[in-house]
Amino acid sequence: MTSSLFTPRRRALQLTAGGIAALLTAPLRAQRLPAATAVEVWKDASCGCCHDWIAHMEQHGFKVTAHDTGNNAVRVRLGLAARYGSCHTALVGGYVIEGHVAAAEMRRLLRERPQALGLAVPGMPVGSPGMDGPAYGGRRDRYDTLLVLRDGGSRVFQRHG
């Protein structure tokens, strides 16, 4: 004898009700998912490490728009001193990002929202995102990601190595 709680008809109704509930709450769940954070990058068209850095950003949920026009003029326009320079310049959430800054540090910057111009990894240190491929044989140099202040000064935001 089958209990009335487990009849095939009752089970079908439960599945249907569950399916309807899932459909009705799907838009709410989708709204809770963070949208990809937009990053705009200026770089040289032939720079392989810039391409690798962009891949790092995209792998970590950023939506990148790249401009193959070089970055020197943009760096000057955004007010970042040449001493912080690297091979690409980006904008994210109102902040300037110079060089091979890690995605996790960009997320931290956007979460903490300090009063600053942005972040910079001057030069092109081996082991930083985009400078860490097989061609470098696993080498990792020590380097700092700098928080660049609006007055042109800086302080260490993250140490590496």
Shared domain for 47 and 2, answered yes or no, is no
Shared domain for 10 and 47, answered yes or no, is no
Shared domain for 20 and 72, answered yes or no, is no
Predicted TM-score (pTM) of this structure: 0.78
Q: How far apart are the first and last CA of the chain?
A: 70
Shared domain for 42 and 22, answered yes or no, is no
How confident is the chain (161 residues) per 10-residue block, as mean pLDDT?
Answer: 48 44 42 74 95 96 96 96 97 98 97 97 97 92 98 97 90
Shared domain for 68 and 141, answered yes or no, is yes
Shared domain for 18 and 80, answered yes or no, is no
The CATH number for 62's domain is: 3.40.30
Shared domain for 51 and 14, answered yes or no, is no
Shared domain for 43 and 10, answered yes or no, is no
Inter-residue contact 119 to 105 (CB < 8 Å): yes
Shared domain for 127 and 48, answered yes or no, is yes
Residue 22 sits in which domain range? Answer: 1-33
Inter-residue contact 104 to 98 (CB < 8 Å): no
Cα gap 133→57, rounded to integer Å:
15
Shared domain for 20 and 83, answered yes or no, is no
pLDDT at residue 35, rounded to an integer: 73
Shared domain for 13 and 75, answered yes or no, is no
CA angle, corner 33, sides to 54 and 120, nearest 5? 30
Shared domain for 44 and 95, answered yes or no, is yes
Domain count, the chain: 2
